[in-house]
Amino acid sequence: MQREKGIAYCGLACCVCSENADCAGCREGGCNFKDMCGNYSCCTEKGLTGCWACEDFPCGGNMLDKLRIRAFARFVREYGQQMLLDCLERNEQAGVLYHDEGRLTGDYDKFDTEEEIISYILTGNRI
């Protein structure tokens, strides 16, 4: 886990992303897609720490349309970024995969509801 990369504005966990090892995370301008990202643009224009801090959360037509990302953002809204980082680190050490090898999906994508994902983040145990 690269904790310093933190959580993206939308809720993606840059800290455990395996997509681009050289990326500094979207908060540091490292994401190659930040110029096309509506969440990045909206949050930086509004001066928000993330989508979870917006009065319109969750909005649609962006990364929050993806269940895992919306659940992660909701987790931050309810428990805070540090708690999410702590849980992700604990879960990663226990073998939970954010990304399966060569894919952009992993263990957190194997649920049907935000509540199930949030429970999995908190416990590392499938319901």
Model confidence pLDDT, tens digit, residues 45-89: 999 999 999 999 999 888 899 999 999 999 999 999 999 999 999
pLDDT of residue 127: 63
CA distances to 22, 23, 42, 50, 92 from 29, in Å: 12, 9, 14, 14, 25
Give the tokens for residue 123. Answer: 């416990």
Residue, of 4 and 79, whose pLDDT is higher: 79
pLDDT of residue 42: 92
Largest Cα–Cα distance of the chain, in whole Å?
Answer: 39
End-to-end distance of the chain based on CA atoms, in angstroms?
Answer: 25
pLDDT per residue over 5-33, tens digit each? 889 999 988 888 877 777 777 888 777 77
pTM of the entire predicted model:
0.91
Query: Per this entry, what is the length of the chain?
Result: 127
- Asked if residues 50 and 10 have their Cβ atoms less than 8 Å apart, the reply is yes
> What is the number of other CB atoms lying within 10 angstroms of the CB of residue 65?
11
